[in-house]
Amino acid sequence: MNCPFCQNTESNVIDTTKDAHGGIRRRRVCLACKQRFSTYERPILTTPLLIKRDGTREEFNRDKLLQGLRLACVKRPVSAAQLEQIVTDVEAELQKRGRSEINSRVVGDLAVKALKGLDHIAYIRYAIVYLRMDDLHTIRNEIDHLLSEEEN
């Protein structure tokens, strides 16, 4: 592990904690510059190939999903940690299914469901693109549905 401050390869671990998803956070101190920094380790489990709408296949990409969620949450009260958690949960669900290929729709459905519980505006933004809401009546119907759920 290289020190992010001086690039030295020698460091000591001063604290280790585990999280609920099997990851390990290590607090380190560089032996050269004495700066402290954290590293995060998580197991590398295989995720299935995603079958896109057009039939092509691609690897699941955490960063691509995270970027889409960030765009939906611009200027919304949603923290980066909450978005990371959604991505982690989606990835864990894909791995748990244990299949070599899965429809990309599953990823979108999981993301939409998580956003719906987190922030309705971010949900609408994401759903407009993901569910291909291409007219105002469809968008209005979805907003009316959200409002009726909120009242109940």
Residue 48 is predicted with a pLDDT of 87
Signed CA dihedral, 117, 118, 123, 126: sign only: negative
Kindly report the pTM of this predicted structure. Answer: 0.65
**First-residue to last-residue Cα distance in the chain:** 52
Instruction: Give me 117's structure tokens.
Output: 């519980």
Residue 127 is predicted with a pLDDT of 87
Sequence-ordered strand ranges (E) for 22-152? 24-30, 36-41, 49-51, 57-59, 101-103
Domain extent listing, the chain: 11-41, 49-151
Report CA-CA distances (Å) from 18 to 27, 42, 92. 12, 10, 16
Residue 10 is predicted with a pLDDT of 95
Residue 21 is predicted with a pLDDT of 65
pLDDT tens for 59-73 read 999 999 999 999 999
pLDDT tens for 21-41 read 678 999 999 999 999 999 988
